[in-house]
């Protein structure tokens, strides 16, 4: 199955390993917490972390330079406990200097390599809206530990 950003093979995402759950692809699972954010300002405050965790696990969406930028921004923001407004400001500055950071290679032609992660968007989805804040915080901790 191919959608806008992921390729599922044998019921698993070819990049992060998330399982197809309730008939939803990895990318479709990502849509659920994006909707949940609109119901809870505290959850919306974690928007950068939700998106960054998902995107770090899907490097085919980026140019090599764009992916390096994302990982560097994630690490600096995490290690320095930056607030969301400052993270977004830094991101805008860096993207301006880099230009295009997303891959221009057609989705069906991108190179994908499976990397096993301790948590994926599947865990956020399965934890449900009531546990999303705690699970996204756990996810960002897990991602940071993997980026050491």
DSSP string across 72-115: HHHHHHHHTT--HHHHHHHHHHHHHHH---B--S-GGG------
- Tell me the pLDDT tens digit for each residue of 93-118: 888 887 778 888 888 888 999 999 99
Q: Is the pTM of this model over 0.85?
A: yes
Q: Which residues contact 20 (CB under 8 A, 6 or more apart)?
A: 1, 8, 11, 12, 26
Residue 104 backbone dihedrals phi, psi, to 5 degrees: -100, 0
Any domain includes 46: yes
Hey, what are 32's tokens? 């659920």
User: In total, how many domains does the chain have?
Assistant: 1
Angle 52-58-59 from CA coordinates, rounded to 5° = 95
Please, which pLDDT band fits residue 41 given cuts at 50, 70 and 90? very high
Tell me what the pLDDT averaged over the chain comes to.
92
Any domain includes 1: no
pLDDT, residue 1, reads: 43
Judged against a pLDDT cut of 80, whether residue 145 lies above it is answered with: yes
CA-nearest of 15, 64, 49, 73 to 124 is: 49
Any domain includes 55: yes
Range of the domain at 102: 8-146
pLDDT, residue 141, reads: 98
């Amino acid at each position: 199955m191919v959608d806008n950003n992921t390729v599922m093979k044998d019921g698993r995402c070819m990049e992060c390993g998330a399982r197809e759950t309730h008939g939803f692809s990895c990318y479709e699972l990502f849509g659920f917490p994006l909707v949940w954010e609109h119901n809870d300002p505290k959850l919306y405050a974690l928007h950068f972390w939700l998106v960054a965790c998902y995107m770090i696990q899907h490097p085919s969406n980026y140019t090599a330079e764009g992916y390096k930028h994302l990982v560097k921004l994630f690490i600096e923001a995490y290690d320095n406990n930056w607030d969301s407004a400052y993270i977004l400001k830094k991101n805008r500055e860096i993207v301006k200097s880099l230009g295009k950071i997303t891959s221009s290679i057609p989705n069906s032609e991108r190179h994908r390599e499976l990397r096993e992660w301790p948590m994926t968007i599947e865990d956020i989805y399965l934890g449900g809206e009531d546990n999303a804040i705690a699970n996204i915080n756990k996810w960002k901790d897990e991602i940071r530990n993997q980026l050491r």
